[in-house]
């Protein structure tokens, strides 16, 4: 990994800072040493101690700059689990957005090429990838992946294809050209219409093990009266389609 930012933590406060950065708080000025490391303690000029913590996956979701609604950790977990993305895998991703999924994949050791059509979003994603410490593994390209499919299909095949974009069905149609034999596909969609179209495209393309899951997560509440799921909503985030190249 390249040099990443760190969390400086005091009680319930967390500041995302880079080595060498100076940051003013009401508890004093923090000067982060250039050689700072996980587990260090840094004092403000007023003597308040902040613990230094390396970023973990959930920290990326909480602290990276957002350009919209990023994929939730529970969705990312399903993508990682169902595709088995790991060190050395070549991943093609589209719909970079904030770059959360690409960063997770890079931290797992995969080499990721991700496409983002919005130039401003792409710039934010590049900065986030740098913050996450995986800019050596994640390449953010500005552009429409559908316009690059021909060149991508002619190159070295990918082990994993992940999509979070409205034109996912058009990419899924070319999945067998893009993926190595046995390679995995994962498509995220917030709407059932989008995942239906992707599922039809996957079957038409000849992918196997095609399945679609809705992701719902419920928080549990424990009190003196009893235990039950929270009534604060059903926790729906979206739909995930998975498939595999024959």
Domain locations along the chain: 6-54, 59-244
The phi and psi torsions of 119 (rounded to 5 degrees) equal -60, -40
Report the pLDDT value the prediction gives residue 202, as an integer from 0 to 100.
98
Report strand pairing: 138-142 vs 111-116: parallel
β-bridge partners, 188: 240
Q: Measured between alpha carbons, how far is 173 from 79 in angstroms, rounded to an integer?
A: 20
Give the CATH number of domain 59-244: 3.40.50.150
**Any idea which fold 6-54 has?**
Vcp-like ATPase; Chain A, domain 2 (3.10.330)
The token pair at 77 is 């977990």
Please report which residue ranges of 84-167 form alpha helices under DSSP H: 100-107, 119-132, 149-154
Report the pLDDT value the prediction gives residue 68, as an integer from 0 to 100.
83
Q: Measured between alpha carbons, how far is 93 from 206 in angstroms, rounded to an integer?
A: 20
How many other C-beta atoms are found inside a 10 Å radius of the C-beta of residue 232? Answer: 9
Q: Measured between alpha carbons, how far is 224 from 102 in angstroms, rounded to an integer?
A: 42
Which of these, 240, 239, 168, 241, lies nearest to 207 by C-alpha position? 241
> Is residue 179 within 8 Å of residue 161, measured between CB atoms?
yes
Which of these, 79, 118, 63, lies nearest to 95 by C-alpha position? 118
Distances (CA, A) of 45 to 27, 48, 50, 119: 9, 8, 12, 40
Report the pLDDT value the prediction gives residue 219, as an integer from 0 to 100.
87
Question: What is the mean pLDDT, run by run of 10 residues, along the chain of 246 residues?
Answer: 81 93 94 94 95 91 88 94 97 97 97 98 96 95 97 97 97 98 97 96 98 91 92 83 98
Angle, in degrees to the nearest 10, between helices 119-132 and 100-107 = 30
Q: Measured between alpha carbons, how far is 150 from 153 in angstroms, rounded to an integer?
A: 5
The token pair at 225 is 């009266």
Report the pLDDT value the prediction gives residue 136, as an integer from 0 to 100.
96
């Amino acid at each position: 990994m390249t040099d990443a930012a760190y969390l400086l933590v005091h009680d319930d406060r967390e500041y995302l800072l880079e080595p060498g950065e100076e940051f003013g708080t009401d508890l004093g000025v923090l000067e982060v040493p250039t050689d700072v490391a996980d587990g260090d303690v840094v004092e403000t000029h007023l003597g308040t101690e902040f613990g230094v913590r390396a970023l973990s996956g959930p920290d990326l979701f909480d602290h990276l700059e957002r350009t919209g609604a990023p994929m939730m950790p529970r969705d990312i977990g399903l993508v990682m689990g169902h595709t088995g993305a790991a060190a050395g895998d070549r991943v093609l991703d589209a719909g970079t957005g904030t770059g959360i999924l690409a960063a997770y994949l890079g931290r797992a050791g995969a080499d990721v090429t991700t496409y983002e059509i919005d130039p401003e979003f792409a710039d934010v994603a590049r900065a986030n990838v740098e913050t996450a410490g995986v800019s050596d593994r994640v390449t953010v390209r500005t552009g429409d992946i559908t316009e690059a499919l021909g060149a991508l299909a002619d190159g070295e095949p990918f082990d994993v294809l992940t999509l979070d974009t409205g034109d996912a069905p058009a990419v899924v149609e070319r999945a067998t050209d893009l993926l190595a034999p046995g390679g995995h596909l994962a498509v995220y969609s917030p709407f059932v219409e989008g995942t239906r179209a992707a599922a039809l495209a996957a079957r038409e393309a000849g992918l196997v093990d095609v399945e679609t899951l809705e992701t719902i997560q419920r928080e549990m509440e424990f009190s003196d009266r009893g235990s039950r799921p929270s009534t604060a909503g059903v926790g729906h985030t979206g739909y995930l389609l998975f498939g595999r190249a024959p």
